[in-house]
Structure 1
Amino acid sequence: MRYRWATFTAVFGAILCLGSAPAAAAPDAAAISVSGTPVRVAIAADGTAYLGNYGQGGGVFVVPPGATSPSRTIGTGGHVTTGLALGPDGTLYVATADGDQSAVGVVPAGDADMARTIPVSAGFHPLAVGPDGTVYVANSTGNTVSIIAPQATAVDRTIEVGAGPAEIAVAKDGTAFVTNQVAGTVSVIPAGADVVSKTIELVSETGTSQEPHGIAAGPDGTVYVANIKSNDIAVIKPGAGTVAERIYVEGGPQDVATAPDGSLYVTSLLTEKLSVIRPQAKEVAGSIPTDGGPGHLAVAPDGSVIVISPATSPGGGAVVRYSKDALAAAPLASGASTAAAPAATPAPEAASQPAAGAQPSAGSWNALPAVAGGVAAAVVGVAVWILVNGRRRRAWLADRAGQAG
């Protein structure tokens, strides 16, 4: 059955409806106590963590290194936070939304308030920042990426990408990679470019999207893509136009982060796990239960990892810091398969041009309707549409739940 999305609305509906039961806490894991509904996390070079609040009043919680609660909150004018990114100089960029008003706020390093805001199109906007301070803004409703030049006060240019831009990662050379969840592709935007240079295909044997979502660039320029539907991490080598290999990760992997040593950390919503993949490995080394269905994550300079598990009510989610030692000792889950999935069919390097009338973006942080399996996922998926956009895909969700059951 062909799935269709009204995507940018699914982004936060999915996030807000992650009401699964908490899993057992892992050893060497410390809970970070916050109010509101944290959905995004970014960690500065000094270890300070920033947590974006999608709950009432918005704002960004600032958590000092090693602390278990915020020391202060950066105000966002009452607007909810939908995206976070840190620049190379420590500047914090905050995407906010309030009805048909959206903007990217700029918070200089160490400041307590936004110095200025840059208007962007309405919607929810994942962000990424390049090594020169260029800001990339995913516009999930328009199938585009807007680019804000360093120190600019307005959008510099907007580039068409595939349908459903979900997340962005920028490599050390300034190349931006965009996951297009509906199209099932990754768009490549070289530093300073005005158009996509090539499109990397991520499709199943039946030609449908594998729903690429989370994306990260490793220290050597290798790009890693979390595919929700195909349960794997696609590995794209520097300069390549096709997927080199795939690493199987169960449970609908949806976000991925890289550590300085090349380790990969992957969150899976349905299995409620944080998986660890060692440098150059082709399979999961081990996994740690998370406190509820995990969403975004970020790696700290000390090697620890902060994982957000949002929920439907203020304070109902969880933010947990997993220590480097806990990650190093992560056991392989009993009965878990570690077999690598087959490599993808080489993809043509064609410019990504969304077709006329393409569906709105499926870029969501926790795109539950895309995950096959689990009655809980089906229930949450229904809540997504009710909460955010009222566009319910009940038949589709029931079909997926039936397959899982």
Structure 2
Amino acid sequence: MSSNIRVEPLVFPESSGIDFGASVSNVDIEHLTDADFAAIREALFTHQVLVFKNQSHVTPKAQYELTHRFDPAAASKYGHGDTATGNKRSILHPDLRTIPHQPQVQVIGHGRVDEYEGLRDLRLKHPHHRTFHATAVPDHEDHDFTRFYRWHIDAALYGADLAPPVVTTLLAVKVPGGGRRQTCRYEDGSGDELDVPLGTTAFVNGEAMYDSLSEADKEFARTTKVEYAPHPYVWMSSARSRSDGLGLVSEGRELGIEDLPSPPDPKAVQILPMCWRNPVTGRLALQVHPSAVLALHLGDGTVIDDLERVRETVHRLQRPGIAPRRVYAHDWREGDLVLFHNRGVLHSVVGAFAEDEVRLFRQCNIAASHFPVGPRQQLGDQKVAAATAV
């Protein structure tokens, strides 16, 4: 059976370095056939980010089913896990509200919403960089200027049964009107900045990030594994970010073992390849969550555990990949459903909303049934060995 789905690559100016993204049309997400899904799957792993327009009618159930279909063996666990979202010290705790009748789907956004999908009197708050960065845009410039909040992968990064989700879906239910735009500043000495729509989600291609490395750095990335901190979103709760949102400043503010929700479990600590392989194209993506890194395990057995050095190394490798010409800043419209390959792109929240600007989105991702495949792994060897306790 064939599909009538139409896939068209997104079009960018000639000066752009964006080499990913596609729009998908002529599809009924509420009633996907096997042929439809096969076409969507092929398109997703080819283009990394897919945009479906005019999908306001899609139910939370259909959104979950589309997300789950990419990994049918996965249990229905939210990708970040219970501790990351339920612990009040977690940096993720304030940003999410769970839909009661579809607990895999979260509500995010900004402003007050009286009722939505069984949730009442929602008071949503869009993450603002001043709550997480070591420095901030001055208050008097906050209307016109902003920053990348935090470049990341959707993943718990701790837990033997919480492998990074394969995909994430985002649906724009309500978007502020007016077409307001902001200038996103890097403020890292480069002078880089980017004109962005208000409240954009910014994406960069991990495959292009890898391809742009020198041959020596490619070899380093292919042979290095990243050890992530236990309970990373609680561990980093007092730490502060770089101004470009790409990792943390080393100030010794991370929580000690005694302040974590539970003692680190060696079986739960995740050590993942620095590069993850695309299951369709075979391309490698440089996929590292820069804020959660704790140590680097090199190919010769050396372990780098000097946190400042670890962060500087990761930042040096990733920073060219978030250059303005490589960032796809999606201009959200109500009804947009964006499906992205969580194991192939990094993304960031961006923007600063006024109190009366209301934004309502649905997000869904599911902890995967298997860990990412690295450069030297076979498909049957996807579970990475756990680290020793920190």
TM over 0.5: no
Quick check: which one's strand share is greater? Answer: 1
* TM-score, reference length from structure 1: 0.28
Which structure has the larger Rg over C-alpha atoms?
2
Quick check: which one's helix share is greater? Answer: 2
